Amino acid sequence: MTALDTAILSLVRRVTEQAILPRYRNLADGEVEDKGGNDPVTVADKDSETLLRDGLAQIDGSLAFVGEEAAHENPAVLDSLAEPCWIVDPIDGTRNFATGKPPFGIIIARAEDGVARSGWIYDCLTQRFCVAHYAQGATVDGEQVTAKTTGRTPPIAAISLVFMSEERREATCRHISPSYELVDIPYCAAEQYPRLALGVNDVSIFERTLAWDHAAGALWLNEAGGKAARPDGSQYRVDERDRTGMLAAASPDLWDDLAELYDKLD
């Protein structure tokens, strides 16, 4: 690992130990709120983000900070996605965390010119640490990783229908689902992206593509040799704030097959 990776790993471990695990299955009444649209936030999310912001400022204070909770409180924070910035999800998988079950993790990306240049995904319970740097490949716990498919026929698909319109949900079930063996989504991008490279799932569809959920994971999967891109094949950019839709797959061929089916939704 690079010196930067080591610093990030030390930070996420410390934040996990200080802010996250002490409240896992130990949240008091009033420590879970709904931001709207079945999107929970806990006191642990807020404490984690504060510690991550302070820690990343020490690592490189020249970068703007775009945190999920800060952006919820003040949407103007999102303007910094067009600048060199840190992008942080302080607890990805809050829905799971708040109900006392895995998976959940911390996601950090470093972006420049609207594109993720580095990404780190930390599983708070297993301590799995996924790292990617642009044009330098992807690693898991310091070991280089190459994306592999499940080898199953039909391929395994984890399709997120949560944020789709009813019409699009029905079209997805009609045109795409029959071509795959469907499995439950983990409600956690910090888990879903690793599943796509480690032989657990073959393809995924995401409707909502917020930067803190997808910047690090999309980079990591692409660097591992899989493919994550917009449905038209264009690169995922963190500064395209209002755009939706992302297809991800364990191989470019699987991505192409999924994209062909996805085209039928329009």
pLDDT tens digits, residue range 164-215? 778 888 878 888 989 999 999 999 999 999 999 999 999 999 999 999 999 9
For residue 92, what is the enclosing H or E element?
strand 85-92
8 Å CB contact between 129 and 108: no
Residue with tokens 């642990």: 44
Percent of the chain with pLDDT over 90: 85
Ramachandran assignment for 244, one of left (phi > 0), alpha (psi -120 to 50 degrees), beta (any other): beta
What is the average pLDDT score of the chain? 95
36 has pLDDT over 90: no
8 Å CB contact between 246 and 159: no
265 has pLDDT over 80: no
Maximum separation of any 2 CA atoms in the chain, in Å: 50
**Fold classified for 3-144:** Fructose-1,6-Bisphosphatase; Chain A, domain 1 (3.30.540)
Spatial separation of the C-alpha atoms in residues 185 and 188, rounded to whole Å: 8
Domain coordinates in residue numbering, the chain: 3-144, 156-265
261 has pLDDT over 90: yes
What is the reported pTM? Answer: 0.96
Kindly report the CATH number that applies to the domain delimited by 156-265.
3.40.190.80
